[in-house]
Structure 1
Amino acid sequence: MTSPSASASTRKALSKIACNRLQKELLEWQVNPPAGFKQKVTDNLQRWIIEVNGAAGTLYANETYQLQVDFPEHYPMEAPQVIFLHPAPLHPHIYSNGHICLDILYDSWSPAMTVSSICISILSMLSSSSAKKRPEDNDRYVRNCRNGRSPKETRWWFHDDKV
């Protein structure tokens, strides 16, 4: 995969397994979407845009953000790339370029996970935050990601299980 803004023509087409899995997940989503999320309907199975509503009673209540989910050729054996579109929420694990430091998107990915389970994990991460602030190394990280570097090319350190 090239950059998050790569057009569909520059990405590898989804495998048959990935297509079947995503069609099944999309159908399940339409029948039973996770609370607080809305998928924007497009004709591109390989890129989903998902609206996230901050949970009531949290720092992000009444705020809406957008996630961009790009599926690799070999999904679900390989994790999708998930980023927040601009403006990304102010959060200790979300960089201003939208990259998310969350282990299930990288090292802890499992093919048993779904788009719904990713969304629920992201909402949980947002909901448990006690402060609206950027990661301490935000400026350096974002500078290093110029030229369209994918968050999947980052070597993340998951040393904080609380926010």
Structure 2
Amino acid sequence: MVDFARVQKELQECNRDVDVSGISVSPKGDNLTHLIGIIPGPLGTPYEGGTFNIDIVLPDGYPFEPPKMQFSTKVWHPNISSQSGAICLDILKDQWSPALTLKTALLSIQALLSAPEPDDPQDAVVAQQYLRDYQTFARTAHYWTETFAKASSLGVEEKVQKLVEMGFPEASVRSALEASGGDENMALEKLCSG
């Protein structure tokens, strides 16, 4: 059975210094076994400036079993699935210890963003790109951060500009982006289908 008193204490710990660390955890709904973690992209990386959401599910054996964590924000990284958001990190598997907390796990994930391990990948395609052509990897990771991990109006203006450059009228581009919740690919499909 999940130790809910400990989970409450961990939530307070995570959210105590959110202004400094940028890391926070909150319940998804009113169930303390399904949480949302938020981590900022580390400075000096292609993820800088992004805000990444982590879906957290606590198993019945928590804290003696590791939390199940995966990115709900799309991210381009060798150790994170670009499709499902699954994370390849030892402390989320066989190296978990009850001494670890949700915050230490999120800090470890943030550190993984800074220091990928392409020799132990979750996403082989990304790992190959990282190893063979780091500049292309960094540009792609930065683009994904801009597209999926930032909610700034600057991202919207860049999307508008790109779609206008493809030959679509600006008013149509703006309404398609608005109708698709800012999803550039969905907006492009709407524009192409008439």
| Shorter-chain TM-score range | 0.5 to 0.7
User: Contact 2:42 / 2:110 at 8 angstroms: preserved in 1?
Assistant: yes
Q: How many residues align?
A: 121
**C-alpha distance in 1 between matches for 2:79 and 2:86:** 8
CA pair 62-130 structure 1, distance change in 2 beyond 3 A: farther
Stretches of structure 2 lacking an aligned partner (at least 5 in a row): 127-194
Highest relative contact order (Cα 8 Å, sep 6+), 1 or 2? 1
- Matched residue, 2:102: 115
| Structure 1 position 136 matched with structure 2 position 124 | yes
Equivalent position SS for 1:46: strand
Q: CA deviation at 1:44?
A: 2.0
Matches within 5 A, 1:10-29: 15=1, 18-29=3-14
Distance verdict in 2 for CA 1:93–1:130, change over 3 Å: closer
Residue pair 1:93, 1:102 contacting (<8 A) in 2 also: yes
Report deviation, 1:36.
2.6
Contact 1:79 1:105 (C-alpha < 8 Å) held by counterparts: yes
In the alignment, is the contact (CA less than 8 A) between 2:70 and 2:86 conserved in 1?
A: yes
**Which structure's residues are more often helix, by fraction?**
2
TM-score by length of 1: 0.66
Matched residue, 1:70: 57
Matches within 5 A, 1:87-98: 87=74, 89-96=75-82, 97-98=84-85
* 2-structure distance, mates of 1:30, 1:37: 7
Letter in 2 for 1:24: K
Secondary structure class of the residue paired with 2:124: coil
Larger Rg: 2
The amino acid that maps onto 1:73 is: D
Distance, in Å, in 1 between the alignment partners of 2:61 and 2:9 is: 15
For 2:51, give the aligned amino acid: T
Structure 1 gaps, min length 5: 1-14, 139-163
What amino acid does structure 2 have at the position aligned with 1:105?
Answer: L
* TM-score (structure 2 length as normaliser): 0.56
Provide the rounded CA distance (Å) in 2 between the counterparts of 1:107 and 1:83.
16
* Cα deviation, residue 57, structure 1: 1.4
Q: Does 1:60 align with 2:27?
A: no
Classify 1:123/1:86 alpha carbon distance in 2 versus 1 (closer, same or farther; 3 Å).
closer
Task: Provide the C-alpha distance between the structure 1 equivalents of 2:56 and 2:47, rounded to a whole number of angstroms.
Answer: 21
**How is 1:37-48 mapped onto 2 (pairs within 5 angstroms)?**
37-40=23-26, 42-48=29-35
C-alpha RMSD of the superposition: 2.5
- Asked if 1:84 corresponds to 2:65, the answer is no
SS class of match (1:125): helix
Using a 3 Å threshold, how does the CA distance of structure 1 residues 130 and 102 change in structure 2: closer, same or farther? closer
Structure 1 counterpart of 2:59, one-letter code = P
Distance in 2 separating the partners of 1:130 and 1:83: 17
State the identity %: 36
Preserved contact between residue 36 and residue 54 of structure 1 (Cα < 8 Å)? no
Q: Residue type matched to 1:90 in 2?
A: W
